[in-house]
C-alpha cells in the first residue's frame, strides 16, 4: 500500500512538477515548464478531442474537452501499457473527416517518421477552425530509441504546419534560459549514472541532481533568457483550410 501511494506521488510529480519535484525529478525544468505552457493554453482544447500518441494521457484533466479520445500505434507493448482508446497502423487515423474539434500532440511529433502524412491526417479529421496544440523537443537527447527521428527548430515546425493548412495562433519556446543548460547537464548525469534500481536512482537524484535543480532555478532569476537555445516548441494552431 505504501509503495503504491509513493508510486502515485512520484508519477504525479513527474508530469505535474511542484516544489517537491526539485529534489526527485531529474527532468524538472523540462517537465515543469512544459506543464505550465500546456496549462496556460489548455482552454483552447475543447469539444471532441483527439490525443495523438496519448501515452498515459497525463494532461487530460487540464483540457475543456467534452469527449477525450486517445490514439496510439498498434503494438503489443502499447496495448499493454498505453491508456489508448484506439490503436492504428501509424498511417491512417481510424476516424472520419471533420470529426474532431481539437487535437493534441504532446512530445510525439519527433517520433513520427512520416510527418507530412501525419499532419495530413490531423488536418483531415479536424473540423474547419479546429485547434491543434502541439509540443515538440528542440534541444534534447535521443530517447525512446530507436523511434526518435527528428528535431524541429521554431522555423521548421512553423513551416511544416503552414504547409499543411494550419494557421499559427501562438508559438512559444519553453525553457529558454540558463535552465536549458542545467537540464542538459542533469540529463547527462542521469543517463550516465542510471541503474536498474528505482530506489537507487531516486537516491542518486536527491544527492547529485537536486543541487543542480536548485542552482539552475536561482540563476534563472538573475540571468537573461536566450531565444536561440531552448528545450521545447509549444505551438497553438488552427485548421484554416
Answer whether residue 241 shows pLDDT above 90.
Answer: no
What is the per-residue pLDDT for 17? 87
Whether residue 5 lies inside any domain: the answer is no
HEC secondary structure over 81-147: HCCCCEEECCCCCCCCCCCEEEEEEECCHHHCCCHHHHHHHHHHHEEEEEEEEEEEECCCCCCCCCC
Residue ranges making up the domain that contains 76: 12-239
Answer whether residue 12 shows pLDDT above 80.
Answer: no
pLDDT averaged over every residue in the chain = 93
Whether residue 2 lies inside any domain: the answer is no
Whether residue 82 lies inside any domain: the answer is yes
Answer whether residue 1 shows pLDDT above 50.
Answer: no
Segment 10-36 mean pLDDT: 86
What pTM value is reported for the model? 0.92
pLDDT digits (tens, 9 = 90+) for 58-109: 999 999 999 999 999 999 989 999 999 999 999 999 999 999 999 999 999 9
Whether residue 193 lies inside any domain: the answer is yes
Segment 109-122 mean pLDDT: 96
What is the per-residue pLDDT for 8? 58
Q: With bands split at pLDDT 50, 70 and 90, how would you rate the model's confidence at 226?
A: very high
Whether residue 7 lies inside any domain: the answer is no
CATH number for the domain including 211?
3.40.50.150
Whether residue 4 lies inside any domain: the answer is no
**In a 3-state reduction of DSSP, which class is residue 233?**
strand
pLDDT digits (tens, 9 = 90+) for 157-180: 999 999 999 999 999 999 999 999
d(CA 225, CA 139): 15
Whether residue 149 lies inside any domain: the answer is yes
Cell of 227: 531565444
Q: Is the bond preceding 183 in cis, omega lying within 30 degrees of 0?
A: no
Whether residue 113 lies inside any domain: the answer is yes
Residue that has been written with the C-alpha cell 519556446 in this structure? 173
Answer whether residue 6 shows pLDDT above 60.
Answer: no
> Considering its fold, how many domains does the chain have in total?
1
Amino acid at each position: 500500500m505504501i509503495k503504491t501511494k509513493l508510486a502515485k506521488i512520484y508519477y504525479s510529480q513527474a508530469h505535474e512538477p511542484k516544489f517537491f519535484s526539485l529534489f526527485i525529478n531529474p527532468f524538472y525544468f523540462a517537465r515543469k515548464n512544459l506543464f505550465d505552457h500546456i496549462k496556460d493554453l489548455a482552454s483552447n482544447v475543447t469539444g471532441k478531442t483527439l490525443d495523438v500518441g496519448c501515452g498515459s494521457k497525463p494532461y487530460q484533466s487540464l483540457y475543456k474537452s467534452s469527449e477525450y479520445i486517445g490514439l496510439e500505434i498498434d503494438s503489443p507493448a502499447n496495448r499493454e501499457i498505453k491508456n489508448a482508446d484506439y490503436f492504428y497502423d501509424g498511417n491512417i487515423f481510424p476516424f472520419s473527416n471533420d470529426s474532431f474539434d481539437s487535437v493534441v500532440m504532446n512530445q510525439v511529433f519527433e517520433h513520427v517518421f512520416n510527418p507530412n502524412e501525419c499532419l495530413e491526417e490531423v488536418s483531415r479529421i479536424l473540423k474547419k477552425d479546429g485547434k491543434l496544440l502541439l509540443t515538440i523537443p528542440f534541444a534534447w537527447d535521443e530517447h525512446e530509441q530507436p523511434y526518435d527521428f527528428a528535431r524541429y527548430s521554431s522555423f521548421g515546425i512553423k513551416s511544416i504546419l503552414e504547409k499543411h493548412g494550419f494557421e499559427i495562433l501562438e508559438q512559444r519556446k519553453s525553457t529558454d534560459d540558463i535552465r536549458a543548460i542545467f537540464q542538459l547537464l542533469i540529463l547527462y548525469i542521469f543517463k550516465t549514472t542510471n541503474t536498474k534500481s528505482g530506489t537507487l536512482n531516486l537516491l542518486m537524484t536527491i544527492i547529485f541532481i537536486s543541487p543542480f535543480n536548485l542552482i539552475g532555478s536561482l540563476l534563472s532569476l538573475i540571468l537573461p533568457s536566450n531565444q536561440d537555445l531552448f528545450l521545447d516548441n509549444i505551438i497553438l494552431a488552427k485548421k484554416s483550410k
